[in-house]
């Protein structure tokens, strides 16, 4: 699915900070992976790298067999829109768009007609049990509801890879459990799911855990 | 690139702008005022131009018009022998006419006799200049006969006491059933009105008599009675019209000949020369200058308007950095982001253009009333204004939109 080969990412803020150091990693289709690390360990950078939002300073990112360094912005964007679904800690919904419009948004960038977007978004919203909220703005929803909207938005394009960046970090334990249940279900449906967390108890639920600290990866079991 | 896609972009742009109505409105004020001013000025300028052209055209573009003019006292040379007979003589003289005829054989030289007398209809005073003319005079000017007929050759030959009046004069004569056939009194003599005409050249109104009638009845002496002191002035010819048939070609040359003769014969410059064709050229030149000034004003106001819009768009881009990150993560390319912000700017500037057009259209009746020029809208002015306001949106929207598009998605997502 996705392969990182000797990837290093350096941020040039004053003295260069290495967010990733010589990281190599392979995610196979239908993998269910937790990435565990404290804040500032470079785990978000790793996720953005896998999500084709960031470009490595050194090394290669292979996405479904294609070297991402050789792809144009339009190709990368299309790949991102089609193959990857993002779920963020702070939901990252567009505040002035309704739930329906937020869920429709990725389909817009795939060039779908308005009615087709609407139909597909409607189905996806009902799957996360928010049909009654479709016309509401994100600010009118609870944290758990917002994250469910974000998941609906991530899934509306039927992506092969789900990247979740601490999706439960801002939720109470009940809402968090709901979100985790949805992700687990996606895995059983055949999706590839990668989730970031700093919470060991959550990481334990994943069959495969990658630890990261100071930008260095370390493969290991959750045990 | 479908119609739906463009409409969606425009719709989204409009929605975003409507979320901050006051801010959007203020930012496009520059464009609104600029476009409004230019639309209004173009309409009034066009109206003024048409009025001037009509006035000049009424004078006849094939004519050179010469009028006698009483010189100011300062111009009279003491050596002048004009005062010999006790009357001060000024103005155009038969020698002028003879020389014009000799040097401009292809031209028709017409003579008018200016009568400085008061006009009455019964006890109503009518205020209009009286000109004795050869019947051929009306061939040199565009004339529309409203009632009756023009002066005929026989009226002139037999010195008939008849008059043709313009519609402006006819309107001031309170005759029941129209002025035609009525008797008017000019300087103690009676004249029958045989025709009412419309002349684009004389807005003030005029009364025409046969030349020989006027000359015979009133002579060339005018007595001015000022402060108990009688003063005689003598004017042989009130007006000369030189009419050239051939499409105005040769008018400048003819005008040069006329000018030379007059300068020689009239060192006191007791005449006034009008060349409508030259006036037309001046008017057209003036219009070109006016248009140029207008273009400069339009350009300045559009640039100012554009800067206003760019300023607000830069603020909007900064405000929406997180949104840019989200959209990028959901599959928006740099081009998508660019188009999103560009469409917003174009919607903004185009609405400014539309509002400006409305403002301009509303301002024209007011300006027309103030200037007394009719306002004439040219549809092209409105189309040009809209196209340019649209262009301003594109030109001044590019920089903020590029800034938005070039932002790194990760930085946007991390932006607080």
**Best residue of B18, B322, B330 to probe chain A, by most A CBs closer than 10 Å:** B330
Please, what is the angle between helix A73-83 and helix B334-371, to 10°? 110
Q: Which residue of B lies nearest to A153 if distances are taken between CA atoms?
A: B330
**A190 assigned to some structural domain:** yes
CB-CB neighbors (< 8 A) of A114 in chain B: 4, 8
Q: Measured between CB atoms, which of A92, A109, A153 is closest to B336?
A: A109
Residue B77 reports pLDDT greater than 70 = no
- The single residue listed with the structure tokens 């005449």 is B271
Question: What pLDDT does B69 receive?
Answer: 84
Average pLDDT over residues A160-188: 91
Domain total for chain A? 1
Question: What pLDDT does B228 receive?
Answer: 61
**Domain encompassing residue A98:** 28-44+72-220
**Residue B249 is encoded by which pair of tokens?**
């070609």
**A61 assigned to some structural domain:** no
- The single residue listed with the structure tokens 């917002």 is A146
**A213 assigned to some structural domain:** yes
Going by pLDDT thresholds of 50, 70 and 90, the confidence category of residue B79 is very low
Chain centroid offset of residue B407 CA = 55
Residue B248 reports pLDDT greater than 70 = no
CB neighbourhood size of A29 (10 A): 12
**C-alpha dihedral, B42 to B43 to B48 to B53, nearest 10°:** 90
CA distance B385 to A96: 33
Question: What pLDDT does B78 receive?
Answer: 46
Query: Touching check for B370 and chain A: CB below 8 Å?
Result: no
Q: How crowded is the C-beta side of A98, counted as CA atoms within 13 Å?
A: 15
Give the residue extent of every domain in chain B. 3-54+282-414, 70-269
Question: What pLDDT does B179 receive?
Answer: 86
Tens of pLDDT along A46-67?
A: 999 999 999 899 999 999 999 9
Average pLDDT over residues A69-93: 93
Question: What pLDDT does B226 receive?
Answer: 59
Residue B74 reports pLDDT greater than 60 = no
Query: Touching check for A165 and chain B: CB below 8 Å?
Result: no
| Average pLDDT over all residues of chain A | 91
Residue B113 reports pLDDT greater than 60 = yes
**A63 assigned to some structural domain:** no
Question: What pLDDT does A187 receive?
Answer: 95
**Best residue of B331, B338, B343 to probe chain A, by most A CBs closer than 10 Å:** B331
Handedness of CA A44, A47, A53, A59 (dihedral sign): positive
**A114 assigned to some structural domain:** yes
Average pLDDT over residues B49-75: 79
Going by pLDDT thresholds of 50, 70 and 90, the confidence category of residue B227 is low
Tens of pLDDT along B26-35?
A: 888 888 988 8
Tens of pLDDT along B285-309?
A: 888 898 898 889 888 888 988 998 9
Run of H or E residues at B321: helix B321-329
Higher-pLDDT residue of B139, B79: B139
**A91 assigned to some structural domain:** yes
Going by pLDDT thresholds of 50, 70 and 90, the confidence category of residue B18 is confident
Q: What are phi and psi of A92, to 5 degrees?
A: 50, 50
CB contact under 8 A, B327 and A113: no
Average pLDDT over residues B116-125: 86
Whichever domain contains A88, its CATH number is 3.40.50.300
């Amino acid at each position: 699915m996705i392969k990182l080969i000797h990837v290093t990412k350096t941020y040039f803020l004053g003295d260069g900070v290495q967010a990733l150091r010589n990281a190599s990693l392979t995610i196979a289709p239908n993998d269910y992976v937790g990435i565990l690390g404290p804040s500032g360990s470079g785990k978000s950078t790793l996720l953005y790298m896998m999500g084709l939002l960031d470009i490595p300073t050194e090394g290669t990112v292979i996405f479904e067999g294609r070297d991402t360094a050789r792809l144009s912005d339009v190709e990368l964007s299309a790949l991102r829109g089609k193959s990857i679904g993002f779920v963020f800690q702070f939901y990252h919904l567009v505040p002035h768009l309704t739930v329906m419009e937020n869920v429709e948004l990725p389909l817009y960038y795939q060039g779908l007609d308005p009615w087709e977007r609407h139909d597909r978004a409607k189905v996806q919203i009902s799957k996360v049990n928010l049909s009654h909220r479709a016309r509401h703005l994100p600010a009118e929803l609870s944290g758990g509801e917002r994250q469910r909207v974000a998941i609906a938005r991530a899934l509306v394009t039927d992506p092969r890879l789900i990247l979740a960046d601490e999706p439960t970090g801002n939720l109470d334990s009940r809402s968090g459990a709901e979100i985790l249940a949805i992700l687990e279900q996606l895995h059983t449906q055949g999706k590839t799911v990668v989730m970031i967390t700093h919470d060991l108890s959550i990481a334990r639920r994943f069959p495969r855990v990658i630890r990261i600290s100071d930008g260095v990866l370390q493969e290991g079991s959750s045990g | 690139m479908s119609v739906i896609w463009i409409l969606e972009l425009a719709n989204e742009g409009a929605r975003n702008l409507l979320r901050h109505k006051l801010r959007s409105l203020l930012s496009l004020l520059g464009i609104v005022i600029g476009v409004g001013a230019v639309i209004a000025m173009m309409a009034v300028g066009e109206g003024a131009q048409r009025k001037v052209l009509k006035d000049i055209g009424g004078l006849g573009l094939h004519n050179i018009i010469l009028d006698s003019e009483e010189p100011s006292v300062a111009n009279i040379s003491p050596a002048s022998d004009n005062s010999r007979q006790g009357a001060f003589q000024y103005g155009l003289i038969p020698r002028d006419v003879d020389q014009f005829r000799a040097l401009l054989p292809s031209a028709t030289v017409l003579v008018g006799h200016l009568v400085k007398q008061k006009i009455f209809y019964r006890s109503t005073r009518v205020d209009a200049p009286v000109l004795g003319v050869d019947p051929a005079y009306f061939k040199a000017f565009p004339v529309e006969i409203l009632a009756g007929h023009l002066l005929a050759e026989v009226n002139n030959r037999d010195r008939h006491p008849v008059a043709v009046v313009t519609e402006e004069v006819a309107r001031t004569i309170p005759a029941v059933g129209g002025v035609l056939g009525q008797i008017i009194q000019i300087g103690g003599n009676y004249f029958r009105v045989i025709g009412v005409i419309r002349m684009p050249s004389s807005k003030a109104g005029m009364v025409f008599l046969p030349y020989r009638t006027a000359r015979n009845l009133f002579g060339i002496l005018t007595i001015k009675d000022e402060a108990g002191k009688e003063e005689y002035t003598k004017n042989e010819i009130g007006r000369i019209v030189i009419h050239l048939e051939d499409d105005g070609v040769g008018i400048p040359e003819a005008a040069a000949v006329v000018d030379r003769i007059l300068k020689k014969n009239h060192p006191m410059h007791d005449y006034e020369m009008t060349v409508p064709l030259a006036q037309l050229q001046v008017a057209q030149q003036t219009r070109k200058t006016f248009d140029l000034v207008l273009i400069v004003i339009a350009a300045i106001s559009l640039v100012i308007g554009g800067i206003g819009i760019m300023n607000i768009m830069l603020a909007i881009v900064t405000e929406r950095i997180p949104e840019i990150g989200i959209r990028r993560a959901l599959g928006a390319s740099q081009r998508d982001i660019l188009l999103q912000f560009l469409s917003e700017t174009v919607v903004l500037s185009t609405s400014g253009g539309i509002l400006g057009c409305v403002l301009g259209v509303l301002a024209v009746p007011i300006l027309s009333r103030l200037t007394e020029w009719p306002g004439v809208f040219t549809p092209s002015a409105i189309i040009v204004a809209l196209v340019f306001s649209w262009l301003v949106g594109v030109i001044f929207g590019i920089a903020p939109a590029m800034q938005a598009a070039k932002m790194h998605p990760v930085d946007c997502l991390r932006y607080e």
